[in-house]
Amino acid sequence: MTAPVWVGVSLKTYFGHARALAWMDEVAAVVRETPAIASGAVRLVVVPTYVQIPAALEAFAGTGVVIGAQDVSAHPAGAFTGEIAASELAEIGVSYAEIGHAERRRLFGETDADTAAKATAALAAGLTPLLCLGETERADSDAAAATVVAQLHADLEGAPAGAVTVAYEPVWAIGAESPASIPHIVRVTRALREALDALPARAGSAVVYGGSAGPGLLTVLDGAVDGLFLGRFAHDPAQLRRVLDEAATRAEVRA
């Protein structure tokens, strides 16, 4: 079976609870008009705050949309005040755990070792790590590829078998006047794909792009990625619909 075209949306903490619920209802209506999601040709992953997860599971029940968490504890269930164990997330129906995001690394000092511990916890609980990678300084594409491939290996060090979804997000390009070029994205994402394919026990893994992604990018990248990880752009359901329609078209081309 052909792998689905992957589209993810992170809500970060932009929405209050009522606004998040309204957004979920609007997106659920869009999803019901996008048969490719129900068929599995397109996989839409919604990543709300922890508090919003139960509502998301309810809003998207039966639609084919899957839910992720924006973080996960590296620790098992136990005396870890304030943490959310991977086992509990899996128990309530969460499928993905976002780890290694540039904001977590920059704001909270998380290291590759921390990320590897979270990847281990997620995989052990049956969650798919949504592993965010990206070079912090602008560099040529070969240097960038070497940096993120090294990061990939460090962030999966010691993690058990299982598929992962790797989101390439060049940190220097976030909010920049001149974002990463298409040749740069293609070079780095293809290097990540080759590195993943060479790793044992990572069958079914995906590589997506998450830097200022929007409509048209899936077509331009032409198979270099398995999908897109969207941010604030997709907080407008009408804009998200445009990307989902494009993803459905790409899925037909790949079938």
Q: What is the DSSP string of 61-79?
A: TTSS-EEEES---SS-SSS
Token pair, residue 236, equals: 């407008």
- Percent of the chain whose pLDDT exceeds 70: 97
**The dihedral formed by the CA atoms of 155, 158, 159 and 160, expressed in degrees to the nearest 10:** 160
pLDDT above 80 for 175: no
- Tally of helices (H runs) and strands (E runs) in the chain: 10, 8
Mean pLDDT of 139-156: 97
Mean pLDDT of 175-182: 73
Cα diameter, the chain: 50
Of 210 and 179, the structure prediction assigns the larger pLDDT to 210
- Percent of the chain whose pLDDT exceeds 90: 85
Sorted by where each starts, the structural domains of the chain and their CATH numbers stand as: 5-254 (3.20.20.70)
Mean pLDDT of 30-46: 97
Q: DSSP letter at 139?
A: -
Alpha-carbon gap, residue 60 to 94, rounded angstroms:
12
Query: pLDDT (tens digit, 9 = 90+) per residue, 5-35?
Result: 999 999 999 999 999 999 999 999 999 999 9
pLDDT above 70 for 177: no
Which residues have CB under 8 Å from 61's CB, separation 6+? none
Note the pLDDT of residue 253.
79
Which residues are marked as active site? Answer: 101, 169
Q: Of 198, 68, 49, 52, whose CA–CA distance to 132 is shortest?
A: 68
Note the pLDDT of residue 176.
64
pLDDT above 80 for 2: no
Q: What is the pTM of this model?
A: 0.96
Alpha-carbon gap, residue 164 to 6, rounded angstroms:
13
pLDDT above 60 for 155: yes
Sign for the CA dihedral angle at 64, 70, 75, 77 comes to: negative
